[in-house]
Amino acid sequence: MPEYRKDPITNRWVIISSERSNRPIQKIERKEISEEIFCPFDKGNEHLTPPEILAFKPENSKPNDENWWIRVVPNKFPAVIPDISPKFKKNGIYYSLDGYGYHEVIIESQKHHHKIYNMSEKEVEEIIWAYLIRFNEIKKDKKIKYIQIFKNYGSDAGASLEHPHSQLIATPIIPIYIEEELKGAKNFYSLKKKCIFCSIIEQEKIDNIRIIEENEHFIAFEPFAPRFPYETWIIPKEHSSDFGILRKFPEKVKSFAEILQHTVYNLYSLLGDIPYNYMIHTSPFDNLNNNFYHWHLELIPRLTHAAGFEWGSGFFINSISPEVAAKNLKKQRR
């Protein structure tokens, strides 16, 4: 029997309907993206991107030379730009604001075909370090309220290049999904004097049917009301509202990299080389330290296309229950 389930944070409902998995829909397969001539992220093509903002490389290397293993550059086709003084505009009932912000690309490796699931643990850890350095650097810009760190893997997940990379977009506006999570988390806190994410971890440990993996500092699980089949969240076990604080705990960075890599590996092992997105949710800069919000990573495999019902209603139909998904993913653990 299908079931409506409510996400306890945002009060968004989803429909879990295993019946739907029988319909004759084409499964999305990740298609390799062919670059037309060359890849701007390959070694030797450093001049084809805007100058680097950060690079992990041997000491005494020159900026933009070939000796990097992780490289952060401004996006060549930016959604927002840092070199303007943003102004608000009003026209009747309409409001707009100049597109101030940062849009950067984290090039994760020199190897064009490298994947998170076959990187060394150290390589994944260093990607997280690159996120943390940029997060804590951009935070100093008082005009910026939020940084969204995310990865698009595969063209069906919105990637335009095959070369392994993540992105960040920093904006003077707090995104609406984060606002909604913050609102839900604040409500819960005012009622229960507890962080809702901490309560979710507790409940998940009691129910013990949606957890995929747990290590010293993190837990990976299928949320109770997932929008997408095999949607997986990774969350620090101890309350932590600020992703950026991780820089003070190298052993936690290691633990986070480990569980992220396992999560991506499990999906690959079960479902093949599927497209996916992940995004890190954290508190906005103006309230980084709080008791009610808990930073986490959300990973969504892109196995089906959201359709008119989803886009029209915000109601998601998910044909695989998180309990079945967790069971299948747990079997893959290496």
Q: Any contact of residue 165 with its own copies (CB under 8 A)? A: no
Residues whose CB is less than 8 angstroms from the CB of residue 65 and which lie 6 or more positions away in sequence, other chains included: 46, 57
The upper half-sphere exposure of residue 203, i.e. CA atoms within 13 Å in the direction of its Cβ, equals 10
- What is the total count of residues that contact its own copies (CB under 8 A)? 90
| x/- letters, 84..113, toward its own copies (CB under 8 A) | x------xxxxxxxxx--------------
Least Cβ distance, residue 171 to its own copies (angstroms): 7
- For its own copies, the binding residues in 207-266 under the rule CB under 8 A are 207, 224-225
Active-site residue flag, 47: no
Q: Among 315, 330, 331, 333, which residue sits at the site for its own copies (rule: CB under 8 A)? A: 315
Q: Any contact of residue 205 with its own copies (CB under 8 A)? A: no
From 165, 217, 281, 294, active-site residue = 165
- For its own copies, the binding residues in 1-20 under the rule CB under 8 A are 1-6, 8, 10-13, 15-17, 19-20
Q: Any contact of residue 151 with its own copies (CB under 8 A)? A: yes
Contact 12, 314 (CB under 8 A): yes
Report d(CA 206, CA 222) in Å as an integer.
Answer: 14
Q: Any contact of residue 173 with its own copies (CB under 8 A)? A: yes
Q: Any contact of residue 160 with its own copies (CB under 8 A)? A: yes
Least Cβ distance, residue 178 to its own copies (angstroms): 7
Q: Any contact of residue 169 with its own copies (CB under 8 A)? A: yes
Q: CB-wise, 180 or 214, nearer to its own copies? A: 180
Q: CB-wise, 65 or 306, nearer to its own copies? A: 306
CA torsion sign, 299 to 303 to 305 to 310? Answer: negative
Q: Which stretch binds its own copies (CB under 8 A): 41-49, 261-269, 295-303, 324-332?
A: 295-303
Contact 279, 297 (CB under 8 A): yes
Q: Which of 247, 230, 228, 241 is nearest to 198 (CA)?
A: 241
Residues whose CB is less than 8 angstroms from the CB of residue 201 and which lie 6 or more positions away in sequence, other chains included: 219, 235, 237
Q: What angle do CA 115, 119, 121 make, to 5 degrees?
A: 140
- Please give the C-alpha separations between residue 303 and each of 163, 197, 274, 275, in angstroms, as whole numbers: 21, 27, 7, 7
Least Cβ distance, residue 316 to its own copies (angstroms): 10
Q: Among 76, 122, 330, 333, which residue sits at the site for its own copies (rule: CB under 8 A)? A: 76
- For its own copies, the binding residues in 174-203 under the rule CB under 8 A are 175-178, 180, 196, 199-200, 203
Q: Which stretch binds its own copies (CB under 8 A): 54-62, 78-86, 132-140, 265-273?
A: 78-86
Q: Any contact of residue 48 with its own copies (CB under 8 A)? A: no
> Can you spell out the DSSP letters for 117-162?
GGS-HHHHHHHHHHHHHHHHHHTT-TT--EEEEEEEESGGGT-S--
The upper half-sphere exposure of residue 247, i.e. CA atoms within 13 Å in the direction of its Cβ, equals 12
Least Cβ distance, residue 230 to its own copies (angstroms): 14
Backbone angles phi, psi at 105, to 5 degrees: -115, 130
Q: CB-wise, 252 or 281, nearer to its own copies? A: 281
User: What residues act catalytically?
Assistant: 165
